[in-house]
Chains A and B, each alone.
Chain A
Amino acid sequence: MPIDPITISIIQHRLYYVNAEMSEAMLRTAYSQILNSSRDFSIGIFDGEGRLISQADNLPVHVGGLPFAMAEVRRRFAARIERGDVFLVNDPYYGGSHLPDITCFVPIFAGLETEPIFWAVNRSHSSDIGGSAAGSYNPDATEIWQEGIRITPLKLYRAGCRDDDLLHMLATNVRHFDDFIGDLNAMIGSIHVGAKRLAELIDEYGADELRGAIEHILDASEHQTRADISTWKDGVYSGQCLLDDDGHGAVNIAIRAQVTVSGSDIHVDLSGTDPQVSGIVNSSYANTMSAVHMAIAYLTPSGIAKNSGSFRPVKVTTKQGTLVHPFAPAPVTLSTNHPAQEIAEAIFRALEGSCPDRVVGGWGRRFRIALQGKDPRTSRNFIWHLFHGRPGGGGSATADGWHGAGELSSGGGLKFSSIEVAEARFPLFFAEHEFAPGTAGAGKHRGGFGSSVRIRLETDAPVSGVTAGDGAVHAPHGIAGGRSGTPHRYHHVKAADGMSTVLPTKATRLKFAPGDWLHIVSSGGGGYGPPTARGKADRLKDVEEGFAVG
């Protein structure tokens, strides 16, 4: 039965709003700050064949990876999927990205059918997933078991009945029992909201009409993506991006992308990438695929609905044993930031000659610090994660980069929280949190500026710290003739003697004395186009605003 095109349009809009409602439910009910404040989660709707058909305003690095987790659940449970089941997975070697990202799934059935017609899915970042470092970024790890608990695809609910023993075991293996349960409840609550709305949609349109509409929706996104790619210049291009190190001796690790543009098809070949390493910068296959799709999504018009249809024109080749397709049990925790960003940026650099009006200068990289100690005001232990001091975004053909917008994997989608709240809740004093002049790469459109942060520790006992990040050696690259920004400069300044030491990007067991300072200047983004092409008005404005361009 042919479906009228208007019904298809309406079904696509309805699916979008189901996603939006699920996101809203998640945002409002999640416990941990990384979810309710920083929005580190993604929502999607899949069809019965495991294809992503709709997603809301999500984290770019999550979306392309969800279909791999979905495929793994469907494969392992094949004929054992029942009404009322809820599935969980986090294992990167079973379709997950990295262990902190937990994905949960609920199947939705039409009438008496035995196969689900839809799946509602939520992927959320847990503030802790166990393992040997609080917060789960453990740069010492050389095997995945040191990174946290591995959840291979499993049923948390069987036919509507929750497995409380299993839940208790999982929550016991992470550091914040209540938060973990609270966040998981919020995730499951959100997919049940989706399930309810999707059931209404089935009531209204019937399964056959919906299935037909889904084909059209996927085809439409494919068609739009292809129409856009076919305006790019054909050719075989290559680009590379370097990671600083893995924290275990490997340095200047290269991600190499050879990209073939042919008509409306793109083939991304990553097999020239360096071999896998001991440390946490390996990327699971699903995460690598997600990074490639993120890159293509960033290059094509933002109005195209992102779904399995928009992924179709892209073919990806990897070689097992490389950084971007490691053999188990390589550790992978940093991968959703790095090398996900470097995979995308290697593709951008390759395509500079194919679609120069689309590529952007390099974005600053993630460089996180977690501090752990005792709060003298409350005598309670505290763990604090640095979300402030964001680096700048890259310049583009149309605009300067965004100041302090963060890393490419979230594309400005994560918020940092109030300094006043941080000071009221943690024994920290912020002397500065501003844009950092001199950090951005020059260009016709310069990069966005990084940030400058100075924090004093107000404890009366030493504080321990863990870092996890990259970009202290390699700066965000310029593109199309633009200049690079500056690398991160994180310093530990001792109260006792004023001595300043550079903080490494991947370190555990750092010790800070009471009154010590963190001095942070994060990367500015890479510039776009030759600096000589920068307009006079823009240059004058930079001077007026107090931004010297490096």
Chain B
Amino acid sequence: MSTHNTYKIGIDVGGTFTDLVAVDQRGRTAKAKVSSTPEDQSIGLVDGLGALAAELGLAPDQLLAHTRLIIHGTTAATNALLEGKGAKVGLLTTEGFRDVIEQREGYKPDRYNLRLRPPPALVPRHLRLPVRERMRFDGSIEQPLNEDSVLQAIEQLKRAGCSAVAVCLLHSYRNPAHERRVSELLAEQMPEAYVSLSSRVLPMIKEYERFSTTVVNAYVGPVLANYLGRLRSRVQAAGYEGEILIMHSHGGLGTIEASIGLAAGCVLSGPAGGVSGCIMASHLAGIPDLIAFDMGGTSSDIALIVDGKARISNDRDISGLKIALPTIDIHTIGSGGGSIARVNDGGILSVGPESAGAQPGPACYGRGGNRATTTDANVVLGYFDAASFMGGRVAFDRAAAEKAIAEIAGRMKCTREAAAEGVVRVINTQMAEGIRIVAVRAGRDPRNHALLSFGGAAGLHVADIARSLRIRTVLVPRSAAVFSAWGMLSTDLKYERIRTVAEDLSPGTVESLPPLISAMRQECIVEALASGLAPEQLAASITLDMRYGEQIFEIDVGIENDELTAPEATRILAERFHVRHAELYGYASRAQRIVVANVRLSVTTPSGIRPGIDIATAHEMRDADTRRIYLDGWTDVPVVDFESLSPGARVTGPCLLRSRTTSIILKQGDVGEIDALGWLRIEVGMPGAHRYAGGEADSRSIELVEANG
């Protein structure tokens, strides 16, 4: 390649590997994968840039000199939160309300466990300090801010050594004046501190959601600020002068400054990159509705792509902490390859949520793990051999796996194979039902989606999971290895704003919206200009959070700006809400009062050229091996090299497909075909054909009934 090319680079830093993908101005891509450096992720990231340059035949500074944009998904904020390594945070809050974040709306999980230890709050009580002030619900001032009380509290936080301060005052979403004044005092008294205002982080009614989000922001903000600062200086030292954009939990991109300011919005930065990959896969494959399923070691992630877009949720709990910012709706279930199987005193088999993790890992890793896991069951069933296991990176101890599964078999009083099959069936049931609940929450029927499988462990389970959900098509991309980094390259910059309205839907309420939206849009434009991107390409979308008068869950209703000024606007909005409610929950109540809770504005601007896709060049088709595996009995099945298959190739189950990163099993009735992208599409064999006695006519009519029901 010539050095006249210009590049855009996507970088995904995971726990084990850092993946990089570069795209040039013609859409051609290059990839690199290096080990992550958890102590400071920016070291591995710079190593990776060197490896990527080498792939392109360039020196690192040459590559960086010709790079226009770096897009980065990071787990820095996630890890700070999950590992409890965030900043020491002080909270300044309205007198009389210092316990909001620990009250947790009075809710205790694990209903029947009265002996459960209450989790500590992110900010302990002695660092949650009252200030004397009070706003009313309408934004008028009940009690002016007593600055002495603020100064005293700040002094206490200083003495305690807090490096971050969250300012959370009641009704600040309506009138932020007191929070702003407190922030001025903080700037004078604690100039080094990271300050997080609830009226900036999430100007939305409901104090628990707003306070908790703001506190999380203060907790992870300094960590993310440190990391991104180091990253920027390392990359600049290596010769880069362009912009670095960070992947946000909402699936868009933000500048480093914006990301530091809204660090709580970067807690799912890494997984959001994965979902961007799924969105891109959805576009490339021409399948607008799919369910992305990423099976990992301790858990699996599920995300819904509807009409080519990820669903956004505005109310997430992460590790028991409420973060109410717009977030790609990724659900994690505690089932994965390392999930441990156990048989209780009553003889019932369960798998997970306890996991063998990476250490000692499944028994078959030969690192001293002796409890049976999902992976061990797959080993016993013959789905892995030493050569294909984890790409040969991990030792393979079949005997240890057999011994662990034999323990389960002993307790279930069945053969080892039956026990292994049982473990797989149980975990498949849990994953399928987890997917179903995610779909139901979103008002979607899983049968109308394809299942997109990625993550090394998914291939052995995905066809069975699809079968039990009656999903007909499974898609397995070939380049799953750098999926996230690749997806980030096609992501847009995104700016999100929210304001609380909290009024009944009426012509007066509707009239008040355009000026509000216009002010929100202005804020976004200022931010977009600051990041050096062309404002003429901005695209805005407006959604309203609406509910029936007495409900508490709002649903989002999209509307165009010019519709809001149309004479029929109130009626249009009402109608759209009723229809959406009926879609989600099966009924609409047209006589009920409707409330407009919040208005949200999302502004996006493209981040430049999108990557193309490397069509797999056909390798020589090798003669298939066979392997003896257990499918209701030991049987020989062909083993096919996934990467050697050209577009148009067909494989029929039972068979195993194998690549460096994954193994995929097709069962009797499953048909796999390599599509134009070089990806595997599985048409899943459904058991229905023989269940409904009476032949084909009956089974077709059953399908019709289901399609209509």
Q: Which residues of A come within 8 Å of B, CB atoms?
A: 4-6, 8-10, 12-14, 17, 20-21, 24-25, 27-33, 36-37, 57-58, 60, 178-179, 182, 185, 189, 203, 216-217, 219-224, 227, 297-298, 302-303, 305-306, 358, 360, 387, 390, 393-394, 396-406, 411-421, 423-424, 429-435, 448, 451, 454, 544-547
Contacts and interface: CB of A to CB of B under 8 A. Distances in A.
B112 A306 contact: yes
Interface in B362-414: 412-414
Given A423-B171, A544-B125, 20 more contacts: A6-B421, A6-B422, A9-B426, A17-B436, A28-B553, A36-B551, A60-B111, A178-B591, A182-B589, A220-B344, A221-B346, A298-B112, A302-B111, A302-B113, A402-B116, A402-B118, A412-B106, A433-B100, A435-B125, A544-B126
Nearest to B551: A36
A6 B414 CA distance: 9
Contacts of A303: 344
B648 interface: no
A352 to B, nearest CB: 14
Contacts of A430: 96
B105 A25 contact: no
B114 A403 contact: no
Interface in B108-134: 108-118, 124-126
Among B115, B346, B589, B592: residue with most chain A CB under 10 A: B346
15 contacts: A6-B419, A9-B348, A28-B585, A37-B552, A57-B111, A182-B550, A298-B114, A360-B114, A413-B111, A416-B106, A421-B205, A423-B137, A430-B96, A448-B118, A454-B96
B436 A432 contact: no
B142 interface: yes
Contacts of A414: 106-107
A433 B96 contact: yes
A420 B206 contact: yes
A390 B103 CA distance: 9
A12 to B, nearest CB: 6
Contacts of B548: 31
Contacts of B414: 4-6
B293 interface: no
A17 B437 contact: yes
Given A5-B413, A32-B550, A546-B126, A415 B348 contact: no
Given A32-B550, A185-B587, A224-B344, A411 B114 contact: yes
Contacts of A433: 96-97, 99-100, 103
A420 B108 contact: no
A60 B112 contact: yes
Among A58, A400, A430: residue with most chain B CB under 10 A: A430
A411 B109 CA distance: 9
B30 interface: no
A366 B704 CA distance: 52
B117 to A, nearest CB: 4
Nearest to B441: A24
Task: Name B's interface SS.
Answer: loop
A360 to B, nearest CB: 5
Given A9-B349, A37-B552, A404-B106, A419 B584 contact: no
Contact of B550 (A31, A393, A394, A403): A31
Nearest to B138: A424
A396 B116 CA distance: 9
A222 B429 CA distance: 24
- Would you list the 9 A-B pairs with minimal beta carbon distance, nearest first? A220-B346, A412-B108, A6-B422, A432-B96, A17-B433, A9-B349, A302-B113, A399-B117, A302-B112
B592 A21 contact: no
Contacts of B421: 6
B207 A419 contact: yes
A193 to B, nearest CB: 8
B138 to A, nearest CB: 8
A21 B437 contact: yes
A28 B315 CA distance: 14
B110 A302 contact: yes
Contacts of A219: 346
B527 interface: no
Contacts of B430: 13
Nearest to B207: A420
Nearest to B434: A17
Contacts of B126: 544-546
Contact of A21 (B124, B171, B436, B584): B436
A402 B113 CA distance: 12
A411 B103 CA distance: 14
B102 interface: yes
A431 B110 contact: no
Nearest to A39: B107
B207 A418 contact: yes
A432 B97 contact: yes
A411 B115 CA distance: 11
Contacts of A393: 108, 114
Given A10-B426, A400-B118, A424-B502, A5 B412 contact: yes
Nearest to A434: B99
A217 B344 CA distance: 12
